[in-house]
Amino acid sequence: MAWSRRRFMQSAAVGGSGLLLARGREAGAVSVADGSAPLIRLDSNENAAGPCPAAVEAIQRATRLANIYPFRFEGVLARAIAARHHVSPSQVLVGCGSSEILLNAVLAFTDARRGLLAPVPTYEEPARRARRLQRPVIDVPVGPDLQVDLDAMARHVEEAGLIFLCNPNNPTSVALSADRVRAFVADALKRSPDVVVLLDEAYIEYADGQGVESALPLALDSSRVLVSRTFSKMYGMAGLRVGYALGQPALLDRLGAWSTPMSVNTIGLHAATAALEVPGFEAGERTRNAEARAFTLQRLQALGMHAAHSHANFVMADVKRDSSAFRDACRAQGVAVGRPFPPLTTHARISIGTLAEMQRACAVFDNVLGA
């Protein structure tokens, strides 16, 4: 029997443990082990739409290649990424999600003297890796508007071997304009002859105008700037772990020296390559996310909750109470939202699911916030 996208996703959703992994429409056909209604999972910024049909078909075909080492296919994906960004394959480094890129950047560009400089809160894995390695971490709190405080970060550039900027920033959802990023990077490179700047653009495809653009031109122009991307968000492949870095070949060589050989699996390589070949995919997904995001922001604001303007597939809302209590109350009513992100102890990160999921979730938020 031929496998449809739905049959594939349903099969992937339940393993021997009976745990729920599916999202969106597919999740409705799957029950958890205890028979309760499935959670609406808005806690990990996953893409509720899942991989596009072309990627699912590639996954099905690639299962027949599971006996073949993935190094045979790495060049195919690198070339597809290069074509997507109009760069040379030598300016692309593929990794096991963007996580491998970010963690290896800490290994490659920090040491016991020159550490990691990053805003807080932001994506936490680079700082966590640096602390495990006993390398300095300079945390710079975001401002009251949740925006990264570039002026405060600039004062610490000389202490850093690596500057990490997630733009749009996770978990705050806000983004720096291209002009501000360019000015900060230029100043940082002047202040320090050795520092490397890593701009994590996991959510850049969702950016909602306002001068927010990719920093890729900076990476192509400078020997000390990297951009990282992922297939986990816009392309719905968080479980397949495919990401990449873009930059000048010499800098990528320094980063790639820490890579795990064949870290991206054969199925992920084929799925990502197929997705890049779909015309108009990003525009369609951006529109879908924007519709559900706008609905969610409107409902939260109607409840009196302030949320920053989001450039991502999640929102950061001030729920005006302890965010842990809000999270627990939502989960009790079937909706999982993000964990607390100190020091923003009254803010909740809410991932954007399908419009139907957000309609159901907002009814729960109404119940919890009105209690």
| Phi, psi torsion values for 292, nearest 5 degrees | -70, -35
* Contact indicator for 80, 276 with CB cutoff of 8 Å: yes
CATH number, domain containing residue 27 = 3.90.1150.10
Query: Parallel, antiparallel, or unpaired for β 92-95 and 243-246?
Result: antiparallel
Looking at the structure, do residues 101 and 216 belong to the same domain, yes or no?
A: yes
pLDDT tens-place string over residues 264-318: 999 999 999 999 999 999 999 999 999 999 999 999 999 988 998 999 999 999 9
Start-to-end C-alpha separation, the chain: 50
pLDDT above 70 coverage of the chain, percent: 90
pLDDT tens-place string over residues 37-81: 689 999 999 999 999 999 999 999 999 999 999 998 889 999 999
Average pLDDT, the chain: 90
**pLDDT score, position 243:** 97
pLDDT tens-place string over residues 140-187: 999 999 999 999 999 999 999 999 999 999 999 999 999 999 999 999
Looking at the structure, do residues 195 and 126 belong to the same domain, yes or no?
A: yes
* Contact indicator for 65, 282 with CB cutoff of 8 Å: no
Q: CA torsion sign, 107 to 109 to 113 to 115?
A: negative
Looking at the structure, do residues 236 and 310 belong to the same domain, yes or no?
A: no
End of a domain among 276, 294, 324?
276
Number of domains in the chain: 2
**pLDDT score, position 17:** 32
Looking at the structure, do residues 170 and 213 belong to the same domain, yes or no?
A: yes
**pLDDT score, position 29:** 34
CATH number, domain containing residue 187 = 3.40.640.10
**pLDDT score, position 31:** 37
End of a domain among 231, 252, 276?
276
Which domain covers residue 217, as residue numbers? 55-276
Looking at the structure, do residues 270 and 286 belong to the same domain, yes or no?
A: no
pTM of the model: 0.88
Q: Which of 106, 98, 208 is nearest to 162 (CA)?
A: 106
Looking at the structure, do residues 64 and 209 belong to the same domain, yes or no?
A: yes
Looking at the structure, do residues 156 and 207 belong to the same domain, yes or no?
A: yes
Tell me the C-alpha distance between 21 and 2, whole Å. 22
Looking at the structure, do residues 259 and 287 belong to the same domain, yes or no?
A: no
